[in-house]
Chain A
Amino acid sequence: MQITGMLHGAPLLKHVDFPSTEVLGPGATNDEIQDLLRRYGQVFIKPVFRGGVGKKGKAGLVGRASDLETALAEKERLYFVEHRHGNAVAKAHSVTFEAGVPAEHEVYFSITDDSRFRAPTMTLTHRGGVDIEELDADEIATIPFDALTGLKAFVVANALTDIHAPRELISPLVQHLPKLWELVHNYGMTTLELNPIRMRPGKGARLTPVACDFKGGFDRDDPRVARLGLPDHVFAADVSAFEQEVNQLRTYQGQSDVFVINDRGTILAPTFGGGANSLVTEVLGDTAIISSDFGGNPPYDKMKAVASICYRHFLAQTNVLFIIGGKSNNTDILETFRGMGDALREHFSAHGPTPLYVVVGRGGPNLVRGMGNLAETLDSLGLPYRFFGFDSAISEVVNYAKGIDAWMRAGGRDDIARALGVKQSA
């Protein structure tokens, strides 16, 4: 869950009274934009992406205007612009107009939990406005601090001294930066990055830090995020309808995030255990439809609900229903298999049969009872199956499932369709 940009960032900073640049949303009228230009002389036009997208400036995705005509032309250029970074492609759906803040100094500041220190850690440099990877190590302060006492003024002051920050920066930053810890810690954030913070001169040449860009990560497991009252769509990156639906059932009792790996895949693999999930997703490659971890001993009702959603979205295209996990420690096999089997039966009842081969690799409490129950369900649905116990290497079972998938593609699916009386195989 990430937010980038000032449109949503500025209101968040307001929660802790951290100054930020003035920002107008996509609905701004020409008069409002003109007014912003009159007061600040310059505006930045930035595309708005769902979720988080970094390095927009580098990709030429930030517009700059000092007159209305240019501002509107940049709006047109950037409103639906695409941003590519590696495999990730994001499409903008809006723009913001952000007041230019003239300043001599640009500061980089972030707070994140750093695994090297196992503590919240501040990163600070007065040479901000650029990628900090480009700076020398002695220009950057990376300081872990105590989570219980928080980011204190002295921590900031010490850090600025260490990196030899200009003295005029120290007082305003020491005054304002600790507020950001309150935002991070009390509103369920995992990461906050402000870059740049522009140091705007005010009365008596005293500088005020003004946040000009915002990047924040939020902890979906922290109810404190709700205090911010952010609308759901802010976090709805490019989440598919399936992910949206299935991840609503995510609780601490089983099931971590479920991702669509290939929406044209042919192996639907409800996977149990984080390790199994990693291994299975890796070995299945593009044949996998989803990556999932349904472990954690989910109760029957939840397992059935989750399976129903998976089937509704993907069963029609599925060649192999592949139920896979290691030897579970406490996940009850009977309960989980019964949930998945009953959901399958109901799916067939509601949507008719679909050609499917079921491969299982599993171990754990009530294993044979669970296998027996699932076998009965599959028998009654007329589906073929092969169940492996925990004494077969999980990766070999994954390869077996791939073998069945290949056979299904090469005519097996039609054979099963005929046996089920299904006319058209999807």
Chain B
Amino acid sequence: MKKRILEHFKNRKDKEETIPKNNSGIISHSVFNKFFLEVASITIFTLRFFKEAIKPPYEINELMKQSFLIGFKSLSLVAVTSFILGLVLTVQSRPTLAKFGAESMLPVMVAVSIIREIGPVIIALIFAGKVGSGIGAELASMNVTEQIDAMQVSHTNPFNYLVVTRVISATFMLPLLVIFGDTIGLLGSYVAVNIKGNVSFSLFFSQIFQSLEFMDVFPAILKTFFFGFAIGLIGCYNGYYANKGTEGVVGKAANSAVVYASLMVFVIDMMAVQILTLFQN
């Protein structure tokens, strides 16, 4: 079985070309087999990650480098997006709240929205677009140009060096980016509130901290670790097992990484909400 799965890694082809159909047009059982093989291969890839992550040697320098590239280099993009997000959310929410005479609730509403849900999810999607695709394309091009094979030949563990460092970096950098993004988003909201109104900086943040609870912040930050892990892992998986010799393999790996990572962000978010609701009740 393991051999079959490993064979599956090596012989991944374009999905659209390989979807077999029988005469009646109904997708045959092999599609389901293929799906479950894919699930199995991702599971084995994840388990291998944990196995390699705890096993020395630890690539600290590469980890630092990747953390810098994945975290610090994404900060400007996240900052701009978050500022606009906070500003737009406030401007759009104002008329609805004004109808009920509840404009004073604007900072509280925007803060809870950004910190609980919109901040983590939007920043994770941006992260998936930038970092997930970058990792996928980078590893795919290394795979195509046989650099990964060369590393194996030179007795360097490519999985440890390439995959483990990137996944750990993505896991720990995304929560930091979300913290920065949330803060900048709230500053954007403060600017938007003061476009039409006149609320002091201290009153704005006092209202926000008054309304927030630990249960708003902790689950939101905690789920971003899972978002980061999923984005890093899916990016690495798509790049690491990209088909050699296929035309446009790098682009396809990058594209798949973004699509599946974005999808996983929503799936994890939904699970997080369900688990949180369970605990709150």
Is this pair of chains taken from one and the same complex?
no
Q: Which residues of A contact B (CB under 8 A)?
A: none
